[in-house]
Amino acid sequence: MKTPRILSPDAIANLMREFRKIALHTTAMKQIHRALDIARAEARESLVERKQWIDYPPALRPKMPPLPLVVAFGPSGTGKDTIIAEYLKNVRESEQWPSGKQLVVSFELSVDATRKALHGDFLEGTEDPHPGVGTDPSLSRRVRMQAANLDTELSICNETQHVVGSDSQTRNKGVADALKKFLNHNTSALSLFGTNNADRIFDANNEFVQRSFKRYDLIGARAGVPEERREFMELLQLFAMKLPEYGVVESAKILTDPAIIGTIFTQCKGRYGTVGRLLKNAARVALMEGSYSLLPYHLWLAVSGSKMLFEDDPVNYFSEFNECR
Amino acid sequence: MFAPPKLPVPSTPFPDESLEGFIARSCNANGWDRPNQVLEILGHGKSQGLWSNRLSDEHAPMLAKQFGCKPEQLVGRFHRPVVVPETEVVFELFCGSPIRLNAREKTIRRISPAALRAADYHRAPWQFQPFKYCAETGEKLLGACPECDKNLGWRKTYGVGFCEHCVEDGYALVDLRTVERPRLPDADLSVYRAVAALLSKPADRSDIFPRYFQSWPAWELLDLILTLGVMLVRCHDPGSLTKRSYIYSTFAWHANFMAAIKFAISWPDSATVLVDDVLRVRASQDTGWSYGRMRKLGPFFNPEYYAGTPRIAFEIKSAVDRALPLTEEEQQRRWWRGGFRPSIRNGI
């Protein structure tokens, strides 16, 4: 029997970072990435005209067709963050932006966001020295000027559900209107990511929903759809292969066991993001225990220790493995 | 390590762009309309007066990082005092050449719409008060909005080519680049350009200036022309203030400046014509309390009062003396006065 390996907290944290490298390019992810690329191409076409008229008030500019909107909503754990992270990673790896340009701006909407907060969040994405300073019109102008001068083609707004966190319908309307103007005034193409609650932003402005060029409802893998089941298994196989490769654990063979796959599927409701989080927690437990292999027992402990992940169904489906050490 | 805040959209200054113009253009590219506020956010403190006054050569490395250019692109653009030997007149560096301290237009943003249509940036020579026209396009410089008639300034800008007073919802409504301005006649434009080049390209001096001035630096030749222009204005209007910034803003300035250029082009032979003109003008004027040679010559009696350097004063004085020789009585009087009247007001 091997001596348990003892790792410092820093060493464990370093190994946990390897999880960022593991992502399965699912069909939904590929489709969304393609839609984002199309939206960018359309924004790129209007860029020259956009820059030419940027100094003029909207009423004096020639009317240009609105830029596209890509929407991807789905419950927590369906892989929205991974889709964004993978897209940005691909963009960074495959494109060489001119110096001083930011073709894709990614930002997270603040909780209880107002129109002003939306502009401030975008400016945080462009690393403006003081995103909060300014009145509504001046912030809106700053967003437009920076987007045009940074040649921004696409703005990715994550956590869109934060806009409907408040009770005020007026506020929702304000933000929906600001987002609509974002597209109508050709600031950049827009992509909204958020939980299903974010859908209510479209109730606030009927015209805004018409700008939507592609909409994706992310739900994860469904048991009744063989392709999605296969994709789910591929994800676990990927983890089984990559975790030893990156030196996180020496073996993660359990992830190819049909019984474990089924239990993970039930536990995570087929959501890819939740699977990643569960396995990360399980690997952390394994490393803290000094284990060389990922065991079902670690999965049980991980679920027990992170109930927040499964608050809609708090049952621990790995209970039968609690003694399998 | 602490990284200083910087603007997201980097900008690079054009070779002949003014510092104020560059900062205002860069702020506008980032959507900021108050350069003062941006400089405060970027850690350059705040001031009540002109924001450009707080910047100097030592700020160049930091400013370059924050605005996205190289420090050497900024260094020559700061206006710092410079000591010119043998004179009490205060000079400052402007485009690398010494100019009188009050010759730079600090508060009003003057532009040439046609030049902005060609390239949208503020040229440094537009800040030089004696220049009323753009040497590039020959267009009269615009310092006020034609719609609201308010002066254009540097405190708030929506790009150099827009009026900051005619604004709605954060957007400037008046595009000054579309304004048509009167232009210099072609004959005047070529000499005007040659004089402007003394400031902006001192190394490439035009052939129209006589070889007589070959040993003179370009800035001193320019100061001679300006001195002649100021003296001509004072000669035609003895009641006017003597402050240069006032004289440059008078209606008569440009015509006298052009006359001074023409005298300088054929100097020293033109001194005779100059003196004849002065005598004719002075003969028709109420010359007040003055008498003798001062009555005849007016400001040309004591050029050291107007000249920036002793060489300029000596040059004008000796040319005038050659054109209008001193009488015996005048020679005695000059000997008695020591032939020199010290300047009591620096910079005038």
Which residues in chain B have Cβ-Cβ distances shorter than 8 Å to A53?
none
Q: What mean pLDDT comes out for the span A169-181?
A: 80
Burial of B114 (0-12, 13-18, 19+ CB in 10 A): middle
**Model pLDDT for residues B172-188, shown as the tens digit of each residue:** 889 999 999 999 999 89
| B166–A contact, CB cutoff 8 A | no
**Strand duo A154-158 + A189-194: pairing:** parallel
Mean predicted lDDT score pLDDT of chain B: 87
Cβ distance A149 to B42 less than 8 Å, yes or no, reads no
Backbone angles phi, psi at A65, to 5 degrees: -65, 145
Which residues in chain A have Cβ-Cβ distances shorter than 8 Å to B158?
55
Residue B1 structure tokens: 């390590």
Interface test mutation site (partner A, options B12, B25, B32, max chain A beta carbons within 10 A): B32
| B40–A contact, CB cutoff 8 A | no
Find the CB nearest B33 among A60, A100, A138: A138
Cβ distance A130 to B41 less than 8 Å, yes or no, reads yes
**Model pLDDT for residues B262-312, shown as the tens digit of each residue:** 999 998 889 899 999 998 988 887 766 667 787 888 888 888 888 889 999
Residue B316 structure tokens: 């004008």
| B32–A contact, CB cutoff 8 A | yes
Rounded Cα distance between B162 and B169, Å, is 15
The confidence score (pLDDT) of residue A319 equals 82
Which residues in chain B have Cβ-Cβ distances shorter than 8 Å to A146?
8-9, 30-31
Of residues B260, B31, B306, the one with CA closest to residue B159: B31
Rounded Cα distance between A122 and A188, Å, is 11
**Beta carbons within 10 angstroms of residue B30's beta carbon:** 24
Q: What mean pLDDT comes out for the span A125-154?
A: 91
> How far is A146 from chain B, CA to nearest CA, in Å?
5
The confidence score (pLDDT) of residue A142 equals 92
Cα dist. A303→A223, A242, A263 in Å? 21, 22, 12
**Model pLDDT for residues B331-346, shown as the tens digit of each residue:** 777 666 654 554 544 4
Percent of chain A whose predicted confidence (pLDDT) is above 90: 32
Residue with token string 């992502």: A23
DSSP class of B128:
B
| A141–B contact, CB cutoff 8 A | yes
DSSP collapsed to 3 states, chain A: CCCCCCCCHHHHHHHHHHHHHCCCCCHHHHHHHHHHHHHHHHHHHCHHHHHHCCCCCHHHCCCCCCCCEEEEECCCCCCHHHHHHHHHHHHHHHCCCCCCCCCEEEEECCCCCCHHHHHHHHHHHCCCCCCCCCCHHHHHHHHHHHHHHCCCCEEEEECHHHHHCCCCHHHHHHHHHHHHHHHHCCCCEEEEEECHHHHHHHHHCHHHHHCEEEEEECCCCCCCCHHHHHHHHHHHHHHHHHHHHCCCCCECHHHHCHHHHHHHHHHHCCCHHHHHHHHHHHHHHHHHHCCCECCHHHHHHHHHHCHHHHCCCCCCCCHHHCCCC
Rounded Cα distance between B295 and B317, Å, is 16
ipTM of the complex: 0.84
Provide the CB-side half-sphere exposure for B55 (13 A, CA): 26
3-class state of residue B143 by DSSP: coil
Sequence-ordered strand ranges (E) for chain B: 81-82, 91-94, 97-100, 167-168, 171-172
Of residues B72, B75, B69, B65, the one with CA closest to residue B6: B65
| A127–B contact, CB cutoff 8 A | yes
The confidence score (pLDDT) of residue B347 equals 42
For residues A38 and A216, the answer to whether their CB atoms sit within 8 Å is no
Mean predicted lDDT score pLDDT of chain A: 86
Cβ distance B6 to A129 less than 8 Å, yes or no, reads yes
Nearest CA in chain B to A105: B8
Residue B136 structure tokens: 């590039």
Of residues B118, B121, B120, B154, the one with CA closest to residue B138: B118
For residues B219 and B96, the answer to whether their CB atoms sit within 8 Å is no
DSSP class of B165:
S
Residues of chain A numbered 146-185 and touching chain B (CB < 8 Å): 146, 149-150
Kindly compute the dihedral angle of the four CA atoms of residues B331, B334, B338, B340, in this order, to the nearest 10 degrees: -130
Cβ distance B171 to A58 less than 8 Å, yes or no, reads yes
Residue with token string 């369906």: A78
Rounded Cα distance between A58 and B275, Å, is 60
The confidence score (pLDDT) of residue A134 equals 87
pLDDT band, residue A38 (cuts 50/70/90): very high
Q: Is B201's pLDDT higher than 70?
A: yes
Cβ distance A138 to B30 less than 8 Å, yes or no, reads no
pTM summary value: 0.87
The confidence score (pLDDT) of residue B345 equals 47
| A126–B contact, CB cutoff 8 A | yes
The confidence score (pLDDT) of residue A182 equals 86
| A145–B contact, CB cutoff 8 A | yes
pLDDT band, residue B85 (cuts 50/70/90): confident
**Model pLDDT for residues A189-231, shown as the tens digit of each residue:** 999 999 888 887 777 677 777 777 788 888 888 888 889 899 9
| B213–A contact, CB cutoff 8 A | no
The confidence score (pLDDT) of residue A113 equals 83
Find the CB nearest B169 among A127, A137, A150: A137
> How far is B197 from chain A, CA to nearest CA, in Å?
32
Rounded Cα distance between A277 and A300, Å, is 13
Find the CB nearest B8 among A55, A56, A128: A128
Residue type at A288 in one-letter notation: M
For residues A46 and A186, the answer to whether their CB atoms sit within 8 Å is yes
**Strand duo B81-82 + A69-73: pairing:** unpaired
> How far is B169 from chain A, CA to nearest CA, in Å?
5
The confidence score (pLDDT) of residue B348 equals 40
The confidence score (pLDDT) of residue A183 equals 87
Q: Is A320's pLDDT higher than 90?
A: no
